[in-house]
Structure formats: structure tokens, C-alpha cells
């Protein structure tokens, strides 16, 4: 047994000064250049000194002033599967506009994953999913807007809207025509996962290579796809790729690559995770690895230690906290965190397991190469205290408690990915 949320330990923080303005641009230095982000403040503060113990209210304040970006969310599949609406509070999804707001999520990649029954119609399926997202944009224009560039992201976030970006999970949607990439790009697609679990015309997948079904790597057609993605300024996502395909792409591309939702093989020997050499190669390219929240990719034999999420264990209490505070996300998170902090839970998979993977990458290649790619609404089994998109505050809180500096937390929450996006997509 252990206390579910540790009490705040004494950690020496760097001086963080927040200007006395509603919005302002900050520049964070990284080993690969600089990236600017918009701080969103409800109150003005000067000379906020984060040292020794930090109060809960300051942690919440810091979280909502930072840019939070998630690189992989499958909500569009929930629209296809069950008719979910992005603008309505959905009890059976992990995401919607209200939940994003409560969780402080500013920028979200919405992924069009092609289910097996739609593979033969993959391009049209993706086009329909993109149109679905744009219909939500029109329907909820005061709260949600799609970005096509780095400047768009800054503008949308500074206007207080949820910023959406478009991605495709599985290059099967490209079909046999490289020109389809141009069409997708014009519609707003800014990254494509080269494969899903199945090998396609571009490359062999991680699952197929692991099972010795196909280790062909990048095909000749695939080489044309990678070159065109580089030319367009479209991010190459290596999550789900086989090792042979991965190394073929690393040798060919001229741009930083991303892993939109992958973890560390050294911590959990799953074919979906990245080996140390692959993590180093992504870092050397200037790219970023976005950590997946699915417990099967976080710990070995997850099914043996998996517990119910806190939402399932305490539905009535959490429902009451939500209903009493749904219009005030500061009080919502404060009351919920206080409730979590008072719990004593059996060992299970928690937010700490996510941070273990962040730690591993930080120690292996540096803090500039890791971010968040939850895979929410993609059928994942999340940590008990990270059960939907309202829970990102848990990551900020625990990173603080584990000794991360303000700059490091900001980078993980979003600035690392924005650096790569700005460089490749413009």
C-alpha cells in the first residue's frame, strides 16, 4: 500500500518570471534552436519564485499558464464508432472540448485511424474524417479551430480556443499515388504514421517484423512517399514502424522525425516501443518522442497489475466534483487533486509510470526530445489517475514533485513538439 499522491517534496526550482500581461510570448532555448509559446494567464504575476515547496494552487496556476500539447488522440474514431460529438460532454469518451478545457489542453492532434473494415476505402474514409473535424470547427467556432501552421497555433491558443491539428494513422490512406500526399496536405494533414500494425505499400510494420511476417523495410514507393513528405513539410511519424523500416527512413529523410505515441523498449519490451538506438537516432535528427499512456506500453505484464481507474472506482465522488465545478477549472482541479491526495490505493499503474519513460529519455538523450502522445480514445487502458484528458494536471504535479524544473516541464508539456513542428511544417 502507498499514498496515492505524494505530498509536496522540497525541490529547488529555477526563477520563473511571468509578465504582468494577459498574453505574452516566451522563448525557450533548446539544443536545436528556439521556440516561442504563448502563456495564458488569468491573473498577472511578477517575480513568481518557485523554490522549496510549491503550493497546490501555484502548481495548477503554472499548468494553465503553460502550453499543453498532445500529439495523438483518436476521438475521430469515436465519432465513426458511436456518433460522439466533440462539443458535447461525452460520458463514454476520454475527450471532448469541455474535457480538454478542464485539463488545460491547448493543442491537440486529431488522428484519422483507418479501422480494418475501411482499409479498402482508406482514402475516402480519411477524407470523410477530415470533413467531420472541419464540421466541428464550423459548429463550435467560438471554442475550436484547426491550425495549418505554427503561427496559426499561436493565434488560436492566444484567442483561448482549443487548437486542433490533423494527422493520419497509417499510410495505407495514400494508396498507390504519391500525389495523394499533396491533397492531404492542402486539407491540413501535418503528420502521417507510415504504418499501423499491418505492413502496407510504403513499409513493413513493427508487428509484422516482430512476428517475422514481413521485414522488407521501406519499399521503392515508400522512398517516394518519404521524399515528398519532406518536400511538403509534413512530419514523418515512426510509431508502429518495424525496425528495418525505421532505419531506412532515418537514412533517407532530411527532416526531424517524430514518434507520435511510443515509449521506451528498455522499460517495457513491447514491439511498439523504441529501443535506445532508435531514441538516439530520433534525437540526433532533432525530432521528438511523444509518450503513450497505454499501460501495455508502460510496464511489463500490465494486465497482471492493472487496477480500475479512479473514475471507475469513485464515480459518484468525481461526478459531484465535476458538477460542482464544471465552470471553474481551477476549483475543479484543486478539489479533485485534494481528493486524490487523500486516497490510499493498492499498487497499480499510475502517472508515475508515464514519467518513468519521460525520465528515461531525458537521461538518455536530454529533455528536448520528449513530449506527450496519449492515444486517448484509441481503446487504451490508461493509468488509474490519468484516465481522460482532464487529468494532464497530474503530469505537471508529479513532474514537479520528482524534481523537474519549470523549463523542463514546459518542454515536455508542449514546447518540444512545437519546436519540431515549426522547423518542419512552418
For 82-121, what is each residue's pLDDT tens digit? 999 999 999 999 999 999 999 999 999 999 999 999 999 9
State the pTM of this model: 0.90
**Which CATH architecture fits 67-169+256-425?**
Alpha-Beta Barrel (3.20)
Can you give the pLDDT at residue 32? Answer: 57
In sequence order, the β-bridge partners of residue 107 are: 69, 163
Q: How confident is the model over 219-237, as a mean pLDDT?
A: 98
Selected residue with higher pLDDT from 5 and 108: 108
Q: Are 419 and 370 in contact (CB under 8 A)?
A: no
The percent helix, strand, coil of the chain (3-state, each to 5) is 45, 15, 40
**Residue whose cell numbers read 518542419:** 424
Instruction: Write phi, then psi, for 139 (nearest 5 degrees).
Output: -70, -35
Can you give the pLDDT at residue 46? Answer: 25
DSSP 46-88: SS-B--S---HHHHHHHHHHS--EEEEE-HHHHHHHH---TTS
Can you give the pLDDT at residue 343? Answer: 85
Per-residue pLDDT reduced to its tens digit, 8-55: 232 323 333 332 223 333 444 445 555 554 445 432 222 233 444 568
Q: How confident is the model over 349-369, as a mean pLDDT?
A: 98
Beta-carbon contacts of residue 295 (< 8 Å; ≥ 6 apart): 302, 306, 349, 353, 380, 381, 382, 383
Can you give the pLDDT at residue 342? Answer: 80
> In angstroms, rounded to a whole number, what is the distance separating the alpha carbons of residues 298 and 352?
10
> In angstroms, rounded to a whole number, what is the distance separating the alpha carbons of residues 236 and 246?
11
Q: Cα dihedral angle (195, 252, 359, 393), rounded to 10 degrees?
A: -50
> 247: which 3 cell numbers?
532505419
Per-residue pLDDT reduced to its tens digit, 121-176: 999 999 999 999 999 999 999 999 999 999 999 999 999 999 999 999 999 999 99
Amino acid at each position: 500500500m502507498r499514498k496515492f499522491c505524494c505530498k509536496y517534496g522540497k525541490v529547488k526550482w529555477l526563477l520563473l518570471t511571468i509578465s504582468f500581461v494577459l498574453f505574452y510570448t516566451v522563448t525557450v532555448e533548446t539544443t536545436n534552436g528556439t521556440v516561442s509559446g504563448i502563456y495564458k494567464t488569468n491573473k498577472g504575476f511578477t517575480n513568481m519564485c518557485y523554490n522549496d515547496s510549491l503550493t497546490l494552487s501555484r502548481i495548477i496556476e503554472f499548468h494553465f499558464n503553460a502550453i499543453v500539447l498532445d500529439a495523438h488522440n483518436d476521438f475521430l474514431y469515436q465519432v465513426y464508432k458511436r456518433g460522439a460529438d466533440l462539443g458535447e460532454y461525452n460520458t463514454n469518451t476520454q475527450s471532448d472540448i469541455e474535457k480538454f478545457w478542464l485539463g488545460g489542453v491547448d493543442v491537440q492532434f486529431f488522428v484519422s485511424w483507418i479501422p480494418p473494415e475501411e482499409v479498402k476505402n482508406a482514402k475516402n474514409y480519411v477524407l470523410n474524417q477530415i470533413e467531420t473535424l472541419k464540421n466541428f470547427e464550423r459548429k463550435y467556432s467560438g471554442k475550436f479551430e484547426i491550425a495549418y501552421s505554427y503561427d496559426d497555433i499561436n493565434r488560436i491558443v492566444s484567442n483561448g480556443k482549443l487548437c486542433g491539428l490533423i494527422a493520419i494513422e497509417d499510410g495505407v490512406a495514400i494508396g498507390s499515388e504519391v500525389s495523394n500526399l499533396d491533397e492531404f496536405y492542402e486539407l491540413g494533414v501535418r503528420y502521417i504514421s507510415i504504418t499501423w500494425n499491418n505492413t502496407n505499400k510504403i513499409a513493413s510494420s513493427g508487428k509484422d517484423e516482430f512476428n517475422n511476417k514481413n521485414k522488407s523495410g521501406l519499399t521503392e514507393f515508400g522512398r517516394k512517399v518519404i521524399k515528398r513528405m519532406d518536400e511538403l513539410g509534413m512530419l514523418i511519424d515512426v510509431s508502429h514502424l518495424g525496425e528495418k523500416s525505421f532505419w531506412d527512413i532515418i537514412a533517407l529523410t532530411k527532416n526531424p522525425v517524430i514518434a507520435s505515441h511510443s515509449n521506451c523498449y528498455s522499460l517495457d519490451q513491447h514491439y511498439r516501443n523504441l529501443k535506445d538506438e532508435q531514441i538516439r537516432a530520433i534525437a540526433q535528427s532533432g525530432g521528438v518522442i511523444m509518450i503513450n499512456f497505454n499501460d501495455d506500453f508502460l510496464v511489463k505484464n500490465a494486465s497482471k497489475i492493472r487496477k480500475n481507474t479512479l473514475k471507475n472506482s469513485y464515480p459518484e465522488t468525481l461526478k459531484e466534483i465535476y458538477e460542482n465545478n464544471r465552470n471553474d477549472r481551477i476549483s475543479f482541479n484543486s478539489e479533485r487533486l485534494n481528493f486524490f491526495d487523500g486516497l490510499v490505493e493498492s499498487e497499480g499503474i499510475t502517472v508515475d509510470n508515464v514519467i518513468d519513460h519521460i525520465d528515461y529519455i531525458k537521461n538518455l538523450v536530454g529533455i528536448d526530445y520528449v513530449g506527450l502522445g496519449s492515444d486517448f480514445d484509441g481503446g487504451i487502458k490508461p493509468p488509474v489517475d490519468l484516465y481522460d484528458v482532464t487529468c494532464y494536471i497530474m503530469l505537471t504535479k508529479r513532474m514537479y514533485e520528482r524534481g523537474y524544473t519549470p523549463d523542463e516541464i514546459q518542454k515536455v508539456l508542449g514546447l518540444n513538439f512545437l519546436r519540431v513542428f515549426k522547423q518542419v511544417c512552418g
